[in-house]
Amino acid sequence: MADDKDSRRKFLARSSMVASTVDAVSGAGAASTEEPAEYAQSDYSLRTKALVSVLTRKKLVDPAAMDAVIDFYENKVGPHIGARVVARSWVDPNYRQRLLADTRAVAREDNLTGVEGTDLVAVENTPEVHNLVVCTLCSCYPWPLLGLPPTWYKDTAYRAQAVIDPRGVLRKFGLELDDDVEVRVWDSTAQVRYLVIPERPSGTEGMSVEQLAALVTRDSMIGAEKLAPHGLGDNA
């Protein structure tokens, strides 16, 4: 798993969207060219931090309120919600069928917050088909199910390359798919969000929903990785 995460940082570092660590608020100092790639921040990240700092100084933004919002998406909603949906779909064929047929209706039945106003669609990975989610215009993403989006999902390099060369992007993420596996790319919008149901890992027969949910990762629900057979310790 660690090697996989490292490969994603390298992918972003090579994307030409990596920015320097110049202090955008104070304007002090020139751009640094010596920062290790894995710590380099994207242009969007630097702009966001600069904007938040300015708005905070002007008392237009309350940092405590922002922390509360982040805590909400990290702890009250987030990947553990989507992971439980996935795990339940693995053990309950009827639930899985309904989920794939009308994801938003099932989400409402499960009292999942934040699904109103958007069309939520679940797509399933199989040995023959691998699904990958991207948002080419910005970073539309099913926050109620997956929490905060990963940095790489919002990066211009991923958004541009995922639709042009999805296999290449997945390969850079450490996921090599066989040539006979069809790759389908789903472009999220403000109206439609996608949830990938990853393949159930082998070696999980007899496990409970709670045990299965603990194996599901956020990135697997975007399609950026496959779940390894249970007991191997990381993802394929």
One domain, residues 179 and 134: yes
Q: How far is CA 67 from the centre of its chain?
A: 20
Is 59 a domain residue? yes
One domain, residues 60 and 101: no
Is 235 a domain residue? no
Q: Which of these is catalytic: 7, 20, 53, 139?
A: 139
One domain, residues 27 and 89: no
pLDDT at position 234 is: 52
pLDDT at position 27 is: 43
Scan for tokens 């490292």, then name that residue.
6
Closest by CA to 124, choosing from 209, 211, 194, is 194
Question: Quick check: is 138 catalytic?
Answer: yes
> What is the total count of domains within the chain?
2
**pTM, 2 dp:** 0.71
Is 56 a domain residue? yes
One domain, residues 27 and 116: no
One domain, residues 151 and 58: no
Asked which of 41, 72, 103 is the last residue of a domain, the reply is 72
Q: Which of these is catalytic: 42, 89, 135, 188?
A: 135
pLDDT at position 235 is: 52
φ/ψ (deg, to 5) at 194: -120, 145
One domain, residues 58 and 85: no
Asked which of 12, 40, 72 is the last residue of a domain, the reply is 72
Question: Quick check: is 16 catalytic?
Answer: no
One domain, residues 67 and 87: no
d(CA 226, CA 149): 18
Q: How far is CA 19 from the centre of its chain?
A: 21
One domain, residues 107 and 215: yes
The H-or-E segment that residue 132 falls in is strand 129-134
Is 229 a domain residue? no
Scan for tokens 């399933």, then name that residue.
124
The CATH number assigned to the domain holding 133 equals 3.90.330.10
One domain, residues 103 and 171: yes
Is 62 a domain residue? yes
One domain, residues 130 and 166: yes
**Start-to-end C-alpha separation, the chain:** 8
One domain, residues 169 and 210: yes
One domain, residues 210 and 124: yes
Is 214 a domain residue? yes
Quote the DSSP letter at residue 198. P
Q: How far is CA 186 from the centre of its chain?
A: 13
Is 173 a domain residue? yes
Q: Which residue spans within the chain are E strands per DSSP?
A: 18-19, 41-42, 119-124, 129-134, 182-187, 192-197
Question: Quick check: is 26 catalytic?
Answer: no
Q: pLDDT per position in the chain (236 positions), as tens? A: 445 555 565 555 555 443 333 333 344 444 444 445 544 566 767 888 888 888 888 888 888 888 887 777 666 777 999 999 999 999 999 999 999 999 989 988 888 755 556 789 999 999 999 999 999 998 899 988 898 899 999 999 999 999 999 999 999 999 999 999 999 999 999 889 999 999 999 999 999 999 999 999 999 999 999 999 987 655 54
Is 211 a domain residue? yes
Domain carrying residue 155: 77-221
Question: Quick check: is 53 catalytic?
Answer: no
Asked which of 30, 53, 72 is the last residue of a domain, the reply is 72
Q: Which of these is catalytic: 42, 89, 140, 188?
A: 140
